[in-house]
Amino acid sequence: MLVIKLKEIIKRYLRGIWGIEILVLVILIGFLTISYVKEFNRQNTPGVFDSLFNEQKFIKDTIYSETEEIANMIYYLSNNLKYIEDYDVDKKIEAKVYGESLKNTYKYAILNKTTGNIITSDYGLEEFYGPNYGLIDSEDVLRYLKNRGFANIMIDNVDTFNSYINSDIKYVEKEGLSNYEEFYYTYPEGYKELIREKAITAKLMIVTTIISILLFFKLLINIVTNGKEVNLKINTVHRLFYVLRYGFKYKYTRNKLVTAIVAAFIVIVSYLYLVASIRNQNLLLTLLTRYPFKGTLFIVLIPLLCIVYTVKKTLDIAMINEGLKKLNDGNLDYDIDDIGQKEVKELVDNINQIKDGYKIAVNEKVKNEKLKTELISNVSHDLKTPLTSIINYVNILKDPNITEDERLDYLDILEKKSLKLKGLIEDLFEVSKLNSGKMILNKSDVDIIALVHQGVGEYSSLYEEKNIEFKVSSKEDELVINLDGKLMSRVFENIIINALKYSLDNTRVYINITNKDNELEIDFKNISNYEMNFNEEEIFERFERADQSRNSAVEGSGIGLAIARSIVELHNGNIKIDVEGDMFKLYIKIPK
């Protein structure tokens, strides 16, 4: 199982692009660029690759570079070798060299090619040639150096010059130098540790180069073949900035961060004071003592990251706790940020979902209270108006002085008012029944096109004075669907009557029936005879009327659309309204 999981992780890594590897690649390229530029632009200094592939050249380059100080002393005291053979000058040079730190490291020998005379700090060379000391040449010197096992460089002052001359910004006359050859030498054993360190650097550069090339081609291949699998988020960097951004805001995390920073500072100071001066042949200690700042950073970084990780856990809890306090104070619009690890994100997500559910419940309760108040007010008004008329006309009928014709007229009015009151009460009970969930649908196969035509034919004769024309269109002659025909007929009745009431005179009402793959859509469009400034959702509420006036000359209870929506929703459909200028559009969608 572990092997399979590991294979999946490796496969997922190879098939994606990750922010951390891009960061690593940038760092590696930066490191390699600096290293290679320094390597190829070096002058008179040893190269790290020579320490790995050509030790002899590395040693010679090192001798050449590090003998600049000796050459400087010699040239300064001898006036550029003009007085090098003067006894007093020779002693001054010898005393000066032996008084410096290089006295036990490098030796020099300066040979006059024309006379065979030699000036040297090496008594062994004088003893080696004895009586022939003033009659030797460069081959003799090189033979001595080879016999004694010295690593050396030879400066002929014709084609090659010492590092002092090559690096000095001042001009040195080279004409007289051609009479002399310079030898600088030392024992090669002293370079073993340096060669080992530089070889490690060379190997590191080679390995880093290989890793960078592989990483580059891996990214390039994934960009070309799998550009969608990109995850540029770097969790470690993200967490670090996250802690630094929010860590000082909260008491508990602030204390831990301050403690961590103080502890890190103490470690750095202690290390620099106690350790930075220690010299040891151990590679790790050598690295740390030679590069105290880098070594200190390396040592401090690991525990510091551990502390930051611990602080982040506390920080997550502190932020969640603060968010809960805001929610508890009634700020239901506040969302807790889901910044954190998987468990924290799940916790925050659950809290936000609970908050959203609570917010919806509160809003629904407020809305229901508002609707309840409006319902009582509207029902009272709509019931009171015809009831008041009935009471008034009943009182009039009690008057013995009215004529028979007047009595008949008043009875006719009473009948209309009574029927209106009855219809209103029936509508109210029907809405209550529909919303209670107790309504049982009596479904059967119904031709919806015929049902629409039936509604238009039955009610289009109402409000004849308005001259409203209905246009029903459909690509099919018959569309049979399983639904409650009686209730759906009531839907079309309410919509058609509303269209007649609120359409502009001498206009058309368009009804379009569309048969789609999984649903049936019926669209109603008409031109309104008033300015439509209502809310499309609120118009479906009970006793809400489009003309916003309960004293409108147009009769209506404001319950028709509420009934229509309830019936459509019972059929698992939906109904919505769209207003565009004076165009009123109503869409009904019923699943097949």
Q: What is the 3-state secondary structure (H, E, C) of 474-486?
A: ECCCCCEEEECHH
* Rounded CA separation 403/416 (Å): 20
3-state secondary structure of 212: helix
Return d(Cα 449, Cα 512) in angstroms, integer: 10
Residues 491 and 521 in one domain: yes
pLDDT exceeds cutoff 90 at 276: no
Question: Does a structural domain hold residue 449?
Answer: yes
Q: End of a domain among 181, 207, 232?
A: 232
- The C-alpha atoms of residue 592 and residue 590 are separated, in whole angstroms, by 6
| pLDDT given at position 326 | 76
Give the residue, 368 or 82, on which the prediction is more confident: 82
Q: What are phi and psi of 144, to 5 degrees?
A: -60, -45
Domain total in the chain = 4
Cβ–Cβ under 8 Å, residues 510 and 495: no
574 DSSP β-pair partners: 589
For residue 546, the model assigns a pLDDT of 45
What's the pLDDT score for residue 509? 94
Residue with tokens 């929703």: 569
- Tokens 């639904």 label which residue? 483
Indicate if 347 and 247 belong to the same structural domain.
no
| Cα gap 358→378, rounded to integer Å | 29
Q: Span 421-450, mean pLDDT?
A: 77
Same domain, 268 and 156: no
| pLDDT tens-digit series, residues 328-345 | 777 767 777 766 666 667
Q: Which pLDDT value is given to residue 168?
A: 62
Decide if 336 is inside a domain: no
- Look up residue 580 and give its two tokens: 């565009």
- List the structure tokens of 227: 């550009």
Structure tokens at 481: 């669907």
CA 148 vs. chain centroid, Å, equals: 67
Please tell me whether residues 189 and 162 are part of one structural domain: yes
SS3 335: coil
Reported pTM: 0.43
pLDDT value at 525 more than 60: yes
For the chain, what percent of residues have pLDDT higher than 90? 19
SS3 at position 503? strand
Q: Which two tokens stand for residue 271?
A: 């290390």
Are the beta carbons of 459 and 478 closer than 8 angstroms? no
Answer whether residue 2 shows pLDDT above 60: yes
Residue in 67, 28, 453 with CA at minimum distance from that of residue 206? 28
Q: Is the pLDDT of residue 210 over 60?
A: yes
- From CA 421, how far away is CA 381, in angstroms rounded? 12
**What integer pLDDT is reported at residue 130 of this predicted model?**
67
DSSP conformation letters of 515-578: E-SSEEEEEEEEEBSS---S-TTGGGSTT--TTS-TT-SS---S-HHHHHHHHHHHTT-EEEEE
pLDDT digits (tens, 9 = 90+) for 417-433: 788 777 777 766 766 66
- Give percent of the chain with pLDDT exceeding 70: 76
Q: Are residues 47 and 70 in the same domain?
A: yes
- Tell me, what's the pLDDT at 505? 92
What residue ranges in 169-253 does DSSP mark as E strands? 180-186, 230-231
Please state, as a whole number, how many other Cβ atoms lie within 10 Å of the Cβ of residue 354.
Answer: 11
130 and 88 in a common domain: yes
CATH number at 380 reads 1.10.287.130
pLDDT at 554: 41
> What is the rounded average pLDDT of the residues 10-39?
81
Q: Is residue 11, in this structure, part of any structural domain at all?
A: no
Dihedral (CA of 328, 332, 337, 342) sign: positive
CATH number at residue 458: 3.30.565.10
Query: Among 116-120, 339-343, 531-535, which is the least confidently predicted range?
Result: 339-343
Comparing 33-37, 108-112, 376-380, 383-387, which segment has the lowest mean pLDDT?
376-380
- In this prediction, residue 452 carries a pLDDT of 93
What's residue 543's pLDDT?
42
Provide the pLDDT confidence category of residue 234 given band limits of 50, 70 and 90: low
Query: 258 and 365 share a domain?
Result: no
Say if 3 falls within a structural domain: no
Which of 208, 232, 256 marks a domain boundary?
232
Exposed/middle/buried for residue 29 (C-beta within 10 Å: 0-12, 13-18, 19+): middle
Residue 332 lies inside a defined structural domain of this protein: no
Does residue 549 belong to any structural domain of this protein? yes
pLDDT at 547 over 60: no
- 173 Cβ partners below 8 Å, 6+ apart? 80
**Who wins on pLDDT, 233 or 357?**
357
Q: Is the model's pLDDT at 506 over the cut of 80?
A: yes
C-alpha 445/C-alpha 481 separation (Å) is 5
User: For the CA atoms of the chain, what is the radius of gyration?
Assistant: 50
Residues 362-392 have pLDDT tens digits of 777 776 666 566 556 656 656 776 777 788 8
Please check whether residue 257 is in contact with residue 243, taking contact to mean a CB–CB distance below 8 angstroms.
Answer: yes
Pair type for strands 151-155 and 118-120: unpaired
Q: Is residue 478 part of a domain?
A: yes
Question: Encoding tokens for residue 284?
Answer: 């790790």
Of 439, 460, 475, which residue constitutes the final position of a domain? 439
Does one domain contain both 187 and 279? Answer: no
Instruction: Tell whether 451 and 557 lie within a shared domain.
Output: yes
Query: Beta-carbon neighbour count of residue 319 at 10 Å?
Result: 20
C-alpha closest to that of 45 among 54, 35, 57, 53 = 57
Q: Is the separation of the CB atoms in 253 and 320 below 8 Å?
A: no
Residue 513 has pLDDT above 90, yes or no: yes
* Measured distance between the N- and C-terminal CA atoms of the chain, rounded to whole angstroms: 48
**Per-residue DSSP letter, 85:** T
**Residue type for 37, please?**
V
CA 427, 428, 432, 438 torsion-angle sign:
negative
**313: exposed, middle or buried (C-beta count within 10 Å: 0-12, 13-18, 19+)?**
middle
Q: What is the mean pLDDT of residues 548-554?
A: 42
Q: Nearest-5° angle of CA 67, CA 70, CA 71? A: 85
pLDDT for 457-485, tens place per residue? 888 888 888 899 999 999 998 999 999 99
pLDDT score of 227 more than 70: no
Q: Which tokens hold the place of 528? A: 């309104």
Q: Is 217 exposed, middle or buried (0-12, 13-18, 19+ CB in 10 A)?
A: exposed
Q: Which long-range contacts (CB under 8 A, 24 or more apart) does 289-298 make?
A: 295/271, 296/267, 296/268, 296/271, 296/272
Let me know how many helices (H) and strands (E) the chain has, helices first. Answer: 19, 13
Residue 10 lies in a domain: no
Q: CA–CA separation, 405 vs 402, rounded Å?
A: 8
- Write down the mean pLDDT value for the chain: 79
Measured CA to CA, the distance from residue 51 to residue 205 in angstroms comes to 13
User: Are 422 and 507 contained in the same domain?
Assistant: no
Q: Which domain holds residue 533?
A: 441-591
509 and 458 in one domain? yes
**Residues 316, 429 within the same domain:** no
Most confident stretch, 55-59, 75-79, 437-441: 55-59
